[in-house]
Amino acid sequence: MGRNPNLTLLSTVTSNDQESYIRSKKRKGAKLSIDIDLIQIDEKSNDFEIINRIKELNNSELVDGIILETPIRKDLDVIKLVSSLDASKDVDSQNPFNQGMILLKRAKIFPATASAIFQIINSLNLPEGSEIVVINRSTVIGKPLSIMLLNSNYTVTMCH
């Protein structure tokens, strides 16, 4: 490759929690020699403008992964935005194709938090069919985690 991998974060809002999480990603990236870039989307940008920016990132050979940071502004169409992410660069598996691949047990990319929780649960060596309660229904954690657990023959109850 001749360069460090690049992860580009797109943020549509500014909050203390999100800024803290982004700082954490940047620190971890530095330790792993991954360049982390943040693009703060202007609060006046509309879906079309953001999708065009995502397409530029999709086409850039200098960008290896993209995360659309949550929360996303309420006035934006989340489905349109995540659908515009190149599935191979969609680090959080938000693109409908990647979500479908999780459903079909063919995913190559899993959302990081859901994957970490799944690995912890699997490490417990619970009997097949064990009942697991997932208290979250987000597309980044709860839904993919529930599907991953179902695909591994756990009995899942989802609460919110």
Is a pLDDT exceeding 70 seen at residue 18? yes
| SS3 assignment for 40-63 | ECCCCCCHHHHHHHHHHHHHCCCC
Is residue 6 very low, low, confident or very high in pLDDT (cuts 50, 70, 90)?
very high
Is residue 1 very low, low, confident or very high in pLDDT (cuts 50, 70, 90)?
low
pLDDT of residue 16: 87
pLDDT of residue 93: 95
Q: What is the mean pLDDT of residues 16-22?
A: 89
- Mean pLDDT score of the chain, rounded to an integer? 95
The 10 Å CB-count burial string (b at 16+, else e) for 9-45 is bbbbeeeeebeeebeebbeebeeeebbbebbebeeee
Structural domains for the chain: 6-91 (3.40.50.10860), 107-159 (3.40.50.720)
pLDDT in tens, 51-87: 999 999 999 999 999 999 988 999 999 999 999 999 9
Cα distance between residue 56 and residue 52, in whole Å: 6
DSSP 9-45: EEES---HHHHHHHHHHHHHHHHTT-EEEEEE--TT-
pLDDT in tens, 100-127: 999 999 999 899 999 999 999 999 999 9
Residue in the structure block whose two tokens are 């490490």: 123
Is a pLDDT exceeding 90 seen at residue 159? yes
Is a pLDDT exceeding 90 seen at residue 160? no
pLDDT of residue 144: 97
Q: What is the mean pLDDT of residues 4-32?
A: 93
